[in-house]
Structure 1
Amino acid sequence: MTRLPRTLTPVYTALIVYASLHPFSGWRDTAISPLAFLTTDWPQYWTAFDMVANVLAYLPLGLLLTLALQRAPGQWLAAVMATLLGGLLSFCVEAIQTWLPSRVPSNLDLACNMLGTALGALLALALGRWLTGTLTRLQRRLAPTPHIEVAVVLVGLWLFTLLSPETFLFGAGDLRHLFDIPPAVAYAPSSFFALEAGIVFCNTIAIGLIVRSLLAPQQASLALLGSFFIAALAVRTGAAMILLGPQQAFDWLTPGAGLGFSVGVLLLSLCLLLPPAGRVAIAGMMLMAGTVLVNIAPANPYSVVVLNVWKQGHFLNFNGLTRLTASLWPFLALPCLSLFGRRR
């Protein structure tokens, strides 16, 4: 598990790059030097929210980089290197934003990003030994599978997809928005109910079996899996509460989602009795079935309203990031299932 920071660092870096350059369209030559933002005055219009968000976005990067570089001679050298690398990343994306008409490069953003990286590096220095010890103890609870940290990161990305309140509960793999493909089925209450229940049912079993496969045999328990699903639903509820308002915190709990989750949990408890190969096979089938269903499901009128409300705020780029992660997740998870058939 001590390899986890080195695995997470490139993943988190890719997320930052995508969020910083989203929507990746409208590129043009503005006849402005990409370095001009370094010498301009600070932006006339800025908000405390933007500054805090820029600091917090790079804080985990500083933490991860410092932990990943802990083999460097001296803890402070690792922290300094992490801060410089975080600043270099921020400088590069700010410079590239010069060619994106929807983005404005800012020296204030660069300063906030570097501050966040430095704070993350200091946090790693303060908590490094505790974090390393905790990760080592967690390693003992995981299955003896090569590159198990990759699967742990994928489960973390699955939890990240739940931050998008517009998507189906546990629904991932929807590619239609990437290719402008219209829904295959017209909206009707009955068909929407059935497809939503099927999506939640399939993905409940798939993610449950994937999490079970991560755990060492002596660590697996229904209570632990139950805690995982409680945490997942808490993430979904908290995201909706923060992004949309407290009155919409439990809008994900529709009749279809409730039915699919309830039946999925019951069948999952039976699938846990299967041998490892059987669990992996069913997880793969449920993952593929859920992906097919989410791509033929009719558009949810509620999701359209949610997306319009959300995009009016500060979360446009965050929305694009969560949707892309949700779209690609099953196609990353399927190859990962092959790891669970291997042992050290």
Structure 2
Amino acid sequence: MRPPGLQQRSAAVPLAVLWLALVVYASLFPFDNWRWPPGAGLADLMRLRWPRWWDRFDVMSNLLGYLPLGLLVGLGALRGGQHWALATGRAVLAGAGVSYLLEVTQQLLPQRVPSLMDWVLNTGGATLGAVAALLLVATGLPARWSRTHDRWLERGGTGAVVLLLLWPVALLIPTPVPLGLGQIGGRLREVALALMDGVPWAERAVDWLQTAALTQRLSVLSEGLATALGLLAPCLLVYAASRPGWRRGLLAIGAPLIALVATTLSTVLNFGPDHAWAWATPDALVALVTAGLVALSLVWIGPRLAGGLALVALTGLVMLVHQAPTDPYFAQSLQGWEQGRFIRFHGLARWVGWLWPYAAMAWLLGRLRAVD
């Protein structure tokens, strides 16, 4: 029997899928040097052993890393109408099953150290998350969230909520310009060059790709425009899923605040507290204020027009950031994320930062088609 006030529509399901992707990435990174352990049989591969040593960071990361998964799976099941016992069991089994599969797979990666303790901690984290889901439902918070969702957003706005929640996460990865998400071309170029290395008939394509990598610094106007579009795009995305009115004004005011906090935190994580405001140049601040004022002036436009403008803003954003070079400090900060303890969070932030604009475009196109 479905708990009172709950509805089937829930952002918990897509968020659970995204968190699962993060867990897989963090567990199997760097995805290379796969090999079968020498002298090990299938039974040896399936058997997990207790570790000889451990540290506090590993314990906390393994425990807390699976808590959101258990929470989101539990909430999704409860909001789908499942009995609390079945929903709890599903969340715990999902965490335990995913953890065991990944721990066994880690035995094929020399860089990773699978252990029975990791599986116990992961399962415990998923169990804590499942219990937290039950407590949230008991307090009535999901039901109140549903009513707030219905007041602020139109039907089908769950995708916009998920994208809006992921936006500050995407901003935590270093970007070539403030709020300049979507610069995936460099990584795709590296993959293409690696695939064509040593291929005689691909020499012209290799030369073209290497030449395309030699970009010049964006002009001040282009950087400001990219920053403004980086703020305007999420505002228009939410407008495409909401009714015209004053509530949009609150979203337009909140977006610059989120951008300010996330970008400052990203700078602190990558360059240290002394450089926290290095990104906040006069040109960047002018761009943010301008984009905020434009967003406020558009609070009364219809959702369909807002969706079209959001697509234009996102297209302009990705075109501009792909013309921006990757400076040495940007590359160095990325390397620090990849080689340090940020590795367990690096995968989520990097991929979300690269793919957020394209996911937003896909959602907007689907939204516009549904309106037709």
- Shorter-chain TM range is 0.7 to 0.9
Deviation, structure 1 residue 166:
5.0
Give the paired residue count.
340
Greater alpha carbon shift after TM alignment, 96-105 vs 278-287: 96-105
Residue 58 to residue 49, structure 1, CA distance change in 2 (3 Å): same
1:61 aligns with 69
2:349 is aligned with 1:322: yes
2:36 aligns with 29
CA distance in 2, matches of 1:323, 1:195: 23
Deviation, structure 1 residue 334:
0.9
2:225 is aligned with 1:215: no
Deviation, structure 1 residue 239:
4.4
Q: Which amino acid aligns with 1:302?
A: Y
Q: Is the 8 A contact 2:245 2:299 kept in 1?
A: no
Residue 309 to residue 338, structure 1, CA distance change in 2 (3 Å): closer
Q: Is the 8 A contact 2:70 2:129 kept in 1?
A: yes
CA distance in 2, matches of 1:213, 1:313: 39
* Residues 10-49 of structure 1: per-residue CA shift (max 9 Å, x gap): 22212221222223233233334575474423142x3212
Deviation, structure 1 residue 255:
4.2
Greater alpha carbon shift after TM alignment, 166-175 vs 327-336: 166-175
1:89 aligns with 98
* Residues 98-148 of structure 1: per-residue CA shift (max 9 Å, x gap): 222332222222122111111111111112132322321222223323x32
Question: Unmatched 5+ residue regions in structure 2?
Answer: 1-6, 191-208
Deviation, structure 1 residue 196:
2.8
> Residues 191-210 of structure 1: matches in 2 within 5 Å?
191=218, 193-210=220-237
Rg comparison, structure with higher value: 2
Deviation, structure 1 residue 59:
0.8
CA distance in 2, matches of 1:253, 1:28: 47
2:152 aligns with 142
Aligned residue for 1:30, secondary structure, equals coil
2:26 is aligned with 1:19: yes
Q: 264, 270, 273: which is aligned to 2:291?
A: 264
Deviation, structure 1 residue 54:
1.7
Q: 288, 291, 314: which is aligned to 2:315?
A: 288
2:193 aligns with none
Q: 127, 150, 168: which is aligned to 2:136?
A: 127
2:16 aligns with 9
2:279 aligns with 252
CA distance in 1, matches of 2:144, 2:52: 42
CA distance in 2, matches of 1:231, 1:72: 34
Q: Is the 8 A contact 1:184 1:296 kept in 2?
A: no
Residue 196 to residue 317, structure 1, CA distance change in 2 (3 Å): farther
Q: Is the 8 A contact 2:70 2:130 kept in 1?
A: yes
CA distance in 1, matches of 2:168, 2:237: 13
Residue 86 to residue 244, structure 1, CA distance change in 2 (3 Å): farther
Q: Is the 8 A contact 2:71 2:132 kept in 1?
A: yes
Q: Is the 8 A contact 2:215 2:323 kept in 1?
A: no
2:318 is aligned with 1:301: no
Greater alpha carbon shift after TM alignment, 24-33 vs 3-12: 24-33
2:107 is aligned with 1:98: yes
Deviation, structure 1 residue 244:
5.0
Residue 50 to residue 237, structure 1, CA distance change in 2 (3 Å): farther
2:198 aligns with none
CA distance in 1, matches of 2:240, 2:160: 9
Greater alpha carbon shift after TM alignment, 47-56 vs 270-279: 270-279
RMSD after superposition: 2.7
TM-score by length of 1: 0.87
Q: Which amino acid aligns with 1:144?
A: E
